[in-house]
Amino acid sequence: MASRVCLVHYHEVGLKGKNRAHFERILIDSIKAACAAFSLASCTRISGHILVTFSVPGEAERAFDVIRRVPGVARVSLAFHTNRDPDEYCRAAVLALREAGEFESFKVAAKRSNTDYALGSLELNAQVGEVLCGAFPQKRVQMHHPDVVVHVLVVQGSVYVYARSERGVGGLPVGSAGKVVTLLSSGIDSPVATWLLSRRGAVCVPVHFSGRPQTADTSEYLCQDIIRALAPSVQIGRLYVVPFGDAQREISIKCPGKLRVIMYRRIMYAVAERIARIEGAKAIVTGESLGQVASQTLENIAAVNEVVTLPVLRPLIGSDKQEIIERAEQIGTYDISCETAPDCCTLFMPRAPETHARIDEVHEAWEAFDHDEMIDRLVASVEYVDFESASYRRPRRFRERHEELAPAPFAERRPREDESSS
């Protein structure tokens, strides 16, 4: 009897030369973490693929769409796994073609990964093709651009047969490209920027600046919802929350109105950099897109950048809003981001923010308040929410770095479910 399995195909991971085994191991760990809710039986490498098996019938079909969203996965096929008995794999081929939906033409593409099987791939094509022609007499065999391809893959004592195969998210497995801190608002853009970095293999540590205590904490919960929606493409271990409202109020009193937004941003970047150093992250990521709003002009970006030494990555800098919205819809964060919530972005905003800041005026405003003391105070007030789904571990040096760089231990904030159930 054939069982159902997922066969994962990878592309960029396969091009990694000597590091390939390392990337494959990370990809396997990511798939295991993404499938934590399923009864995973095994996740192993076989002949240029990763084979994912389940101990409960029906789980391969359900896990199929989850695995497609794991960075590093170029394609997933929902396969039948049989032994080498021709009756078994030909029957599986009929089932595979039957579940392909509407089609007029098909072909068989057989491949053996070892040579100890009596039939070569051409003979396998003919053998399986003949059975399919008998089972689907109204359909035609077509070698070029058929509607459906039935793949037959012989690997050691097993045969994998599939027709259903869909593109995955691509990119590189999470954890293969280091760690970044992402500035996550509950808006549309920063979740997309976070997703893009995760797809390139970075572990993302989000930091959210809340307007609390000057506003409600709704934006913090929207960020938690965004993080859950981003899984399994983005695996978040911890969300850092900085209650920023009082600091903004202080800046709004001491600094010229038109430069307030730049001051808020400079403080946000400086606090994010401190958290990045504690976490061992090597860059800061934002969802800025050139010219989208007042703070995103070249002059203002430069005025904010100068307070940090870590690289600031802006993966959306050349994207149009419409493109960003389409991506947000695709990754499932758009609707959450459209639930407007007051956060630090709407708090103490000037009527006419500066669009082309002069650096001498920026420096003057920066000296108008004790920014170093404010940064220390904010770092000491950072809270966090832990998520359990992450496949990576906090570095061992975290505690030492924390004691060195943060004046007080961060306070844990319970996720929403816990709060509502208590």
Ligand X SMILES: Nc1ncnc2c1ncn2[C@@H]1O[C@H](COP(=O)(O)OP(=O)(O)OP(=O)(O)O)[C@@H](O)[C@H]1O
Q: Minimum Å distance from CB 231 to ligand X?
A: 19
Strands 383-386 and 40-46: unpaired
* DSSP label at residue 17: G
295 binds ligand X (CB under 6 A): yes
Q: Minimum Å distance from CB 264 to ligand X?
A: 8
124 binds ligand X (CB under 6 A): no
148 near 161, Cβ under 8 Å?
Answer: no
Find all residues with CB under 8 Å of 363, minimum gap 6, and list them: none
> Using CB under 6 A, which residues numbered 324 to 343 contact ligand X?
343
267 binds ligand X (CB under 6 A): no
Q: Compare residues 189 and 217 and give the one whose CB is closer to ligand X.
A: 189
Pick from 229, 230, 345, 385 the residue near ligand X by CB under 6 A.
345
Whole-Å CA distances, 276 to 64, 150, 314 = 34, 48, 16
Q: Minimum Å distance from CB 226 to ligand X?
A: 10
For residue 274, the SS3 value is helix
Q: Minimum Å distance from CB 381 to ligand X?
A: 15
Stretch that binds ligand X, among 20-28, 68-76, 136-144, 181-189 (CB under 6 A): 181-189
Q: What is the C-alpha separation between 336 and 52, in angstroms, rounded?
A: 32
Stretch that binds ligand X, among 11-19, 46-54, 57-65, 286-294 (CB under 6 A): 286-294
Whole-Å CA distances, 128 to 86, 101, 108, 159, 289 = 8, 19, 7, 12, 53
Q: Compare residues 162 and 269 and give the one whose CB is closer to ligand X.
A: 269
Q: What is the C-alpha separation between 145 and 189, in angstroms, rounded?
A: 38
Of 37, 51, 46, 44, nearest in space to 4 by CA: 51
Looking at this protein, which amino acid is placed at residue 372?
Answer: D
- State the number of binding residues for ligand X (CB under 6 A): 19
Stretch that binds ligand X, among 9-17, 20-28, 106-114, 182-190 (CB under 6 A): 182-190
Q: Minimum Å distance from CB 208 to ligand X?
A: 5
Pick from 292, 297, 305, 355 the residue near ligand X by CB under 6 A.
292
Binding site for ligand X (CB under 6 A): 183-185, 187-190, 208-209, 286-288, 292-293, 295-296, 343-345
